[in-house]
Amino acid sequence: MQESLPITGASAQLRGAELERAMRKRWSKAPFERLIVLSLWLCGTVSMITTVLIVLTLAEETRAFFMEVPLRDFIFDTKWTPQFEPAHFGVWPLVFGTLNVLFWSMVLALPLGLAAAIYLSEYAHPNTRRILKPVLEALAGVPTVVYAFFALTVVTQDILRPLLGQDRVPIFNALSASIVMAVMILPTIASVSEDAMSNVPRELREGAYGLGATRLEVAFRVVFPAALGGIIAAVLLAVARVIGETMIVAVAAGSTPQITLNPLNSVQTMTGYMLAIGLGDSARGTVDYTSIFAVGSTLFIFTFCANVAANIIVKKFKEQYE
Amino acid sequence: MSNSVDLRPASTGQRAAEGTLERPMAQAQPGAIVEPEGEIAITIENLSLWYGPKQALTNVSMKIPARKVTALIGPSGCGKSTLLRCINRMNDLIPTVRIQGSLYYHGVNLYGPDIDPVEVRRRIGMVFQKPNPFPKSIYDNVAFGARVNGFKGNLDQLVEQSLRRAALWEEVKDNLKKSGLALSGGQQQRLCIARAIANQPDVILMDEPCSALDPIATLKIEDLMRELVKDYTIIIVTHNMQQAARVSDYTAFMLTDEQVTGQLVEYGPTEELFTTPKDRRTEDYISGRFG
Ligand SMILES: Nc1ncnc2c1ncn2[C@@H]1O[C@H](COP(=O)(O)OP(=O)(O)OP(=O)(O)O)[C@@H](O)[C@H]1O
Ligand SMILES: [Mg+2]
């Protein structure tokens, strides 16, 4: 009953020069496609040029800064007092301000965020997840200035001070900033990690369940390690946000550069300093002005190192499941 | 847990009851379903299953003998995997699944209210269609079950023994730290079998374990099954009728037709089923006339 159907079309009959012509790239036939490619290329180029310009400016002003302040002082001095006499330009107090807030916000956000991710991906009913995830992600959309004043008023004045004592908690402190920062990055950590964990193939989970693993064991011994790459990416995103966050620390953490990891101190972060000076009226070319760029370069180096470190960690520990 | 489904057979859902009334009962030919001789490992009684509103199994009843290979054959979509996954409560993981009927493992009701599915799966292991080693080392793959189940003995020894039984030891003994994913498909599948054996199960379920493998790897796994069946009860789903004929002692033929989804049509000693089928539909299927 099977008749031979003409499943090969006329194009299969072409040979020689005709065939060659038919198989050529067809630029002329797709001007629209060329337009798209061109505009994509333009977008890429513009953003690349912008980046290069930013780095150049940063480098130039940083160079100007180090004409006046020796690099040795910048690295080995332990005080940062550019506006007092005698002026000190040791960057560590600002670095520690950033590390202080980073450390405490991570201490708070990591366990909570990962627990939320594990709950959402391994335990929650699909319907629960459908509702909870967008709600969580909406949290990430709250403007940081709202978080900033929330830190200063509610967290410091209504929670920390009554809880820990008026005299132990300065009005500007690292802890309040760390707490709201943790709230701010929690959705990022939870949501991005959850994506990574949900992407772990179902076969792997079934394999583990089939061996008599409990939900918890499946989550921690199979899903978590398999999703580690994505989870580290999530954490890195969060780290980058905390390091770069300016408004919250400027409003709530204070303006006292000091080398400490005590969260109950008033501290100044790198970004906090840059904002404070940037808003002031220091003229171009002054040390005050160029110091912003020196600190900016430092920040840049830190985030760069964090990126490299994360890449190495991911390479080393990620369990491939392709 | 709030999201665990109530799968107890006694609690017949409203829809389930309607479902069985609407459809004609699965009517097997008299004598087409044979009760095997010897010790029975698993007894399935009037098992029906629904994925949401969609029925996938209808009134399946059969007894699966201990330390024998039982093959489930039938056209695609007839419910073989579904039936297999009922036996170690793997279907519990699918929220929409509803089950009616009973399954007994050496007389214990597998869906009894106090039965822990985790304990069920420790005794009734599973090898999947697609090799699914964990993205961990070969050693960690084999040791996985022992670790989650709090194995107290010598882990190195267990890993070696399991790999030997799965006929993989010679190929991997110098590379136990290598990722399980670095193995070939056939080796991966034997790794998954080793992983299942290391759990010291009693029953091993295999869902088309050779479908992703070449003929040589397939033969290796078939030899392995014949070897393992001295100690284990093996239930295998296969699309390959020669395979069923080669490895199994008993064969069950399942079918979904216009009237009944997921019914057991015929079940008996493999040789009889393939040489003198009692049901017309079995005959049609094994002679390649449909499916
Ligand atoms: N998770 C699920 N959700 C909904 N329906 C499902 C699910 N799994 C299977 N089914 C349906 O149940 C029926 C039986 O499926 P099952 O996988 O058991 O068939 P099978 O006999 O194993 O087929 P194959 O030989 O192709 O593997 C099919 O109609 C299928 O579409
Ligand atoms: Mg199947």
Confidence band of A29 (pLDDT split at 50, 70, 90) = low
Per-residue model confidence (pLDDT) at position B91: 92
Query: pLDDT digit string (tens) for A70-99?
Result: 989 888 888 888 878 788 889 999 999 999
The pLDDT value recorded for residue A303 is: 87
Top-confidence residue, A231 or A5:
A231
Nearest CA in chain B to A228: B135
Angle at B83 (CA atoms; ends B79, B87), nearest 5 degrees: 165
Exposed e or buried b per residue across A177-202, where buried means at least 16 C-beta atoms within 10 angstroms of its C-beta = bbbbbbbbbbbbbbbbbbbbbbebee
Any idea which of A2-6, A51-55, A298-302 has the lowest mean pLDDT? Answer: A2-6
**Residue A144, token pair as written in the block:** 């940081």
B contact test, residue of A211, A217, A317 with most B CBs within 10 A: A211
User: Does the CB of B156 have a partner CB in chain A at under 8 Å?
Assistant: no
Closest to A254 measured CA to CA, from A147, A159, A151: A151
Q: According to the model, what pLDDT value does residue A3 have?
A: 55
Q: A292, A314 in Cβ contact below 8 A?
A: no
Cα–Cα distance, B273 to A237 (Å, whole number): 62
**Triad B152, B157, B158: Cα angle to 5°:** 65
Residue B90 CB less than 6 A away from ligand 1: no
d(Cα A208, Cα A226) in Å, to the nearest integer?
13
**pLDDT confidence of residue B13:** 41
Query: Would you list the domain boundaries of chain B?
Result: 34-286
Q: What is the torsional sign of CA B147, B151, B155, B158?
A: negative
pLDDT greater than 90 at residue A52: yes
Do the chains contact at A319 and B149, CB–CB below 8 Å? no
| Predicted confidence (pLDDT) per residue in A132-158, tens digit | 988 888 887 889 899 999 999 999 989
Neighbouring C-beta atoms of residue A116, cutoff 10 Å: 22
What does the block give as tokens for B197? 């054996």
| Amino acid residing at B16 | A
Closest residue by Cα to atom 24, ligand 1, is B76
Query: Whose structure tokens read 């513009």?
Result: A46
Q: Does B151 touch chain A (CB under 8 A)?
A: no
| Radius of gyration in angstroms for the set of CA atoms belonging to chain A, rounded to a whole number | 27
d(C-alpha A220, C-alpha A231), whole Å: 13
Question: Which of B55, B82, B207, B243 best tests ligand 1's pocket when mutated (most atoms within 8 Å of CB)?
Answer: B82
At residue A244, the 3 state secondary structure works out as helix
pLDDT score for A109 = 95
Q: Could you count the other beta carbons within 10 Å of the beta carbon of residue A73?
A: 15
- Fold designation for B34-286: Rossmann fold (3.40.50)
d(CA B146, CA B153): 9
Tokens of A100: 């202080």
Amino acid letter, A64:
A
- Sites in chain B below the pLDDT cut of 50: 1-24, 291
Q: What count of CB pairs under 8 Å joins A to B? A: 83
Q: Among A123, A206, A320, whose Cβ lies nearest the Cβ of B135?
A: A320
Instruction: Tell me whether residues B121 and A211 touch, CB distance under 8 A.
Output: yes
What ipTM describes this predicted complex? 0.84
Do strands B124-127 and B108-109 pair parallel, antiparallel, or not at all (unpaired)? unpaired
pLDDT of residue A28: 64
Strand partners, B269: B250
pLDDT in tens, A238-287: 998 899 888 899 888 888 899 989 999 999 999 999 998 888 877 887 88
Contact B206, B148 (CB under 8 A): no
d(CA B206, CA B84): 8
A28-49 mean pLDDT = 87
Strands (E), chain B: 40-51, 54-65, 69-73, 97-105, 108-109, 124-127, 203-207, 233-237, 250-255, 263-269
Surface-to-core class of residue A239, CB atoms within 10 Å of its CB (0-12 exposed, 13-18 middle, 19+ buried):
buried
Q: Cβ contact (<8 Å) for B122 and A123?
A: no
Are B249 and B70 in contact by the 8 Å Cβ rule? The answer is: yes
pLDDT-derived band of residue A103, with 50, 70 and 90 as boundaries? Answer: very high
Nearest CA to A231 out of A259, A195, A205 is that of A195
Q: How far apart are CA A95 and CA A259, in angstroms?
A: 8
Query: Residues of A near B (CB-CB distance < 8 A)?
Result: 123-126, 128, 201, 203-214, 217, 221-222, 225-226, 319-322
Q: Is B90 on the interface with A (CB under 8 A)?
A: yes
* B276 Cβ contact list (under 8 Å, min separation 6): none
Ligand 1: nearest atom to the Cα of B54: 5
Q: Is the pLDDT reported for residue A319 higher than 80?
A: no
Q: Which one-letter DSSP state was computed for residue A231?
A: H
Q: Under CATH, to which class is A81-317 assigned?
A: mainly alpha
Give the other-Cβ count within 10 Å of A34's Cβ: 12
Instruction: Give the distance (Å) from ligand 2 centre to CA of residue B196.
Output: 19
CA–CA separation, B157 vs B198, rounded Å? Answer: 10
Mean residue pLDDT across chain A: 88
| Residue A193 amino acid letter | S
Residue B244: phi and psi, rounded to 5, are -55, -45
pLDDT band at A7 (very low <50, low <70, confident <90, very high): low
State the burial class of residue B275 (Cβ atoms within 10 Å of its Cβ: 0-12, 13-18, 19+).
Answer: exposed
Please identify, by atom number, the ligand 1 atom nearest to the C-alpha of residue B82: 18
Residues of chain A positioned with their CB less than 8 A from the CB of B144: 208, 211, 213, 221
Query: Is B234 strand, coil or helix?
Result: strand
Q: What pLDDT was estimated at residue B282?
A: 92
* pLDDT tens figures, B114-155: 999 999 999 999 999 899 999 999 999 999 999 998 888 899
Distance from CA of A191 to the nearest CA of B (A): 21
Structure confidence at residue B34 (pLDDT):
87
Q: Is B128 in the pocket of ligand 1 (CB under 6 A)?
A: no
